[in-house]
Amino acid sequence: MPPTLARHLAVVLSHPNQYYSPWFRWLAAHTDLDLRVFYLWEFGVTVHTDPQFRTALKWDVDLLSGYAHEFVPNTSARPGSDHFGGLRNPTLTARLAAFRPDAVLLFGYAYASNLRVVLWARLHRVPLIFRGDSHFLGRGAPPLRTRLTLRFLYAQFAACLPVGEANRDYFLTLGVPAARLHFAPHSVNAALFDPASASHRAAAGTLRAQLGLTPSTRVILFAGKFVPAKQPRELLAAFLAARLPDTALVFVGDGEEKPALRALAVSAPAGSVHFLPFANQSEMPARYLLADLFVLPSRGLYETWGLAVNEAMHLGVPCLVSDRVDLATSPSIRTGAAHALAHAGI
Residues 101 and 220 occupy one common structural domain: no
Q: Structural domain tally of the chain? A: 2
The residue type at 303: E
Q: Is residue 192, in this structure, part of any structural domain at all?
A: no
Q: Is residue 185 part of a domain?
A: no
Q: What pLDDT shows up at residue 27?
A: 96
> Within a domain: residue 189?
no
CB atoms within 10 A of CB 48: 17
The answer to whether residue 175 sits within a structural domain is yes
Beta strands 218-225; 247-254: pairing state: parallel
Report if pTM > 0.95.
no
End-of-domain residue from the set 180, 209, 243: 180
Which helix (H) or strand (E) segment holds residue 112: the answer is: helix 112-123
Buried b (16+ CB within 10 A) or exposed e, 3-41: eeeeebbbbbbbbbbbebbbebbebbeeeebbbbbbbbb
Query: Does the residue 186 lie in any domain?
Result: no
Helix (H/G/I), strand (E/B), else coil: 224: strand
pLDDT of residue 95: 99
Residues 155, 261: one domain? no
Closest Cα to residue 170, out of 141, 128, 206? 141
Radius of gyration of the chain (CA): 21
Whether 27 and 111 map to the same domain: the answer is: yes
Of the candidates 108, 109, 110, 70, the residue with the CA atom closest to the CA atom of residue 92? 70
Query: Could you tell me if 300 and 162 lie in one domain?
Result: no
Domain shared by 96 and 160, yes or no: yes
pLDDT computed for residue 47 by the predictor: 75
Provide the strand spans (E) within 148-298: 159-160, 218-225, 247-254, 273-276, 293-296
Q: Which domain holds residue 214?
A: 198-342
Handedness of CA 296, 299, 300, 301 (dihedral sign): negative
Given this model, what pLDDT does residue 29 score? Answer: 96
| Cβ contacts of 223 within 8 Å, gap of 6 or more | 251, 252, 253, 279, 284, 287, 288, 294, 308
Q: Do 169 and 206 sit in the same domain of this protein?
A: no
Q: Say if CB 81 and CB 110 are below 8 A apart.
A: no
pLDDT at residue 328, as a whole number: 79
pLDDT in the model for residue 148: 97
Is residue 327 located within the same domain as residue 264?
yes
Q: What is the pLDDT of residue 322?
A: 86
Q: Within 10 A of 183 (CB to CB), how many other CB atoms are there?
A: 11
Is residue 211 included in any domain, yes or no? Answer: yes
In tens digits, the chain (346 residues) has pLDDT values of: 344 556 999 999 999 999 999 999 999 999 999 999 999 999 888 877 766 666 777 889 999 999 999 999 999 999 999 899 999 999 999 999 999 999 999 999 999 999 999 999 999 999 999 999 999 987 778 899 999 999 999 999 999 999 999 999 999 999 999 999 999 998 889 889 999 999 999 999 999 999 999 999 999 999 999 999 899 999 999 999 999 999 999 999 999 999 999 999 999 999 999 999 999 999 999 999 999 999 999 886 667 888 999 999 999 999 998 888 888 777 656 554 445 555 555 3
Does 191 reside within a domain? no
